[in-house]
Amino acid sequence: MSFFAELKRRNVFRVGIAYVLVAWIVLQGIDFLVDLIDAPAWVLQIFFAAAAIGLLSVLIFSWVFEMTPEGLKKERDIDRDRSIAPQTGRKLDRVIIAFLAIAVVVLLVERFSQPARIDEPVASARSTSPTADSAEAPTNAPPKKSLAVLPFVALSNGPDDEFFADGLTEEILNSLAQLPELRVTARTSAFAFKGQDLPVQEIGETLGVGHVVEGSVRRAGERLRVTAQLVQAEDGFHLWSKNYDRDYGDTIAIQEDIAEQIAAALDVVMDEGKRDSMRRVGLRDPAAFIAWQKGTLAAQIAHGTVDQIPGLLEANAHFEEVLEHAPDYAPAWVAHSDPYGHILNDSATGESSLDDVPESMVNTALQMAANDLAKAAEHATGLDERAGAELDLAILTGDFYDIRRRLEAYLASEGCDHAQWVDPVATVFGFAEQVIDRLGHVTACDPLWSTVVFSRARAALWNGQTERARDIIAMVREQSSHPWLDLIQVRSYIIDGQLESARAEIDQARSMDPFWRKQNALMLAAASGDRDNMTRLVELAYEDGSRSGFFDLQFHAMSGDREAANRVAARIDQDAYGPLPLILIINWCMCGAPFDLEATPNLAAEIAEGGLPWPPAEIINFPLKQW
């Protein structure tokens, strides 16, 4: 008799299958209890190891012994003619069937009783994000393994010490974000608390995290003293803390150790694969991450001004330094492309903001932006990041072939990365609901990223959900002074026909630039059908002698001057980059088609190539506009 046949005769296979089913069911119960009492992950691992060892023991036991009517005997002492192994096998078959049924029931209970995990998503700055609605409807209990890394405090006052502290913080954050077990709040939201002496409980509640990482950095010549601590947000209990007294050259080693120690304190089981993932991200070069912090700050300041290009070009000088040290850092390529996009928009719409920009830069802006986005796609570390860069590149260069499928695929993703040009294009051409969902994942990772919150709220307006738009911006208005959030509030009231509420919002908006205040007042006058007031407001907006095709076109459309609107639109369309600015104007106007498509043949060709709908939806009804 073969060895396989002998194993079968002695019921070794049946015993093994029965044992595996019983062990699996028992481990499910232990797993439930481990979660219930919040026990460390190693508890379940010990039970699993014991079960694996037990399987080997049971198999050996079933080979050596046999159950007989007289009790347990060694198999070698039993007469084959008197063996009851076949009867025992049939009993084991019934046992296997019974426990298999129990296992199926357990699986079904898990499958259909599992709640939508809005409160415990797995997220990171560059990994799968939480569900889209979690940022809009936070739960009382944050995920157990969630944290925010707050900017480390610079205790020395060297010229770059604060940027160094911020850079070290972001490197730690990026490393922790690679661990799928952790949900890590992204940089924009974590850094929103810089310089604020707030209780960790309040910070944890605002960001929806269970833990906060704090620290400080003191630099004296080539010596560093870094202090880091992991604090439980609910009660301020310190789970871990450590001081590092090292040389400046040990910066990366310090960062790696802090990230690993924090992960271990949160019961993340580390292996070489996870450590390798953590090492592959970020800049890993103090000079590079100092330059990145300088560029990020300059770009942030620039985006809060009306004339953004000078500040963005200043930021680019720092991003170029980053790329000298780290030419494969995709976020720096994306950031470096930003001012060229603004130059292209302003050039196509005839803005006066280009007066101080060299003509050679204006002429090569499209090539520069396209090159930057191509580099960003080439060096992207994740599929969503690469898809976003490639889609932005296609929109920027007017490659609308198969654009619907590409938009649908990107908007269905759940990453934390955010493309620059996708949102306005997708919103205009009927994807508003998908934009809301997609940006919900981004804001769940980075809840205080005000420009993304603005884009999501604007998509809600396009989707006819004014109350939802107000709810979205309400989450960040206390922490952010970005003027565009006030724009959403004003426009939501105009759409609802609450013109007095819109007027009161314009008067009391704390962060609205005078230029934007006039633009909102212009839209309110248009919604009231007050042509005389509209004309007066336009003259006030351009009292410094500057003109803007971007706002001229909206003014003509809202005031009902179809011929003038078509004339401005045709001029913009003739620019090599013209179609995208026209889409952006549609997105801002919310007035349906601000011009006739026949007046813009280049845009018409892109819309036809992409199979996109026309005309766009009319979100705000302006009485003077009759088409």
Which helix (H) or strand (E) segment is 397 a member of? Answer: helix 383-397
Amino acid making up residue 432: A
Look at residue 452 and tell me whether its pLDDT is greater than 60: yes
pLDDT interval class at 300 (50, 70, 90): confident
- How confident is the model at residue 128, as a pLDDT? 40
The model's pTM? 0.73
Residue whose structure tokens are 């909102």: 520
Q: Which residues contact 397 (CB under 8 A, 6 or more apart)?
A: 366, 370
pLDDT interval class at 99 (50, 70, 90): confident
pLDDT interval class at 140 (50, 70, 90): low
Mean of pLDDT values over 270-281: 90
Q: What is the DSSP letter of 617?
A: P
Mean of pLDDT values over 269-294: 92
- How confident is the model at residue 124, as a pLDDT? 38
Instruction: Quick: pLDDT tens for 148-183.
Output: 999 999 999 989 999 999 999 999 999 999 999 999
Mean of pLDDT values over 223-240: 94
Q: Which residues contact 267 (CB under 8 A, 6 or more apart)?
A: 40, 41, 42, 145
Amino acid making up residue 59: L
pLDDT interval class at 42 (50, 70, 90): low
Residue whose structure tokens are 């009790």: 71
Look at residue 542 and tell me whether its pLDDT is greater than 80: no
More confident of the two residues 116 and 95: 95
Q: Are strands 183-184 and 146-149 parallel, antiparallel or unpaired?
A: parallel
Say if residue 159 is preceded by a cis peptide, omega within 30 of 0. no
Going from N- to C-terminal start, the domains of the chain cover 3-113, 146-284, 548-627
Mean of pLDDT values over 378-398: 91
SS (H, E, C) 311-343: HHHHHHHHHHHHHHHCCCCHHHHHHHHHHHHHH
**Can you tell me the distance from the alpha carbon of 25 to that of 343, in angstroms, rounded to the nearest whole number?**
63
Instruction: Quick: pLDDT tens for 191-202.
Output: 999 988 899 999
Mean of pLDDT values over 376-397: 91
- How confident is the model at residue 36, as a pLDDT? 58
Nearest to 583 by CA among 594, 574, 575: 594
Residue whose structure tokens are 């104007």: 585
Helices assigned H by DSSP within 232-271: 251-265
Look at residue 77 and tell me whether its pLDDT is greater than 70: no
Burial 497-506 (b: 16+ CB within 10 A, else e): eeeeebbebb
Kindly report which listed range (89-93, 227-231, 261-265) carries the lowest average pLDDT score. Answer: 89-93
Q: Which fold has domain 146-284?
A: Rossmann fold (3.40.50)
- How confident is the model at residue 383, as a pLDDT? 85
**Can you tell me the distance from the alpha carbon of 25 to that of 99, in angstroms, rounded to the nearest whole number?**
8
Nearest to 148 by CA among 102, 188, 119: 188
Helix (H, G, I), strand (E, B) or coil at 7: helix
**Can you tell me the distance from the alpha carbon of 410 to that of 413, in angstroms, rounded to the nearest whole number?**
5
Residue 475 and residue 207 in contact, taking contact as beta carbons nearer than 8 Å: no
Q: Which residues contact 134 (CB under 8 A, 6 or more apart)?
A: 118, 119, 121, 208, 440, 444
Burial 448-457 (b: 16+ CB within 10 A, else e): bbbbbbbbbb
More confident of the two residues 580 and 37: 580
- How confident is the model at residue 508, as a pLDDT? 82
Q: Which residues contact 224 (CB under 8 A, 6 or more apart)?
A: 217, 218, 244, 245, 246, 247, 248, 250, 251, 254
- How confident is the model at residue 100, as a pLDDT? 82
More confident of the two residues 379 and 89: 379
- How confident is the model at residue 395, as a pLDDT? 93
Q: What are the residues facing 591 on neighbouring strands?
A: 618
Nearest to 363 by CA among 575, 549, 584, 551: 575
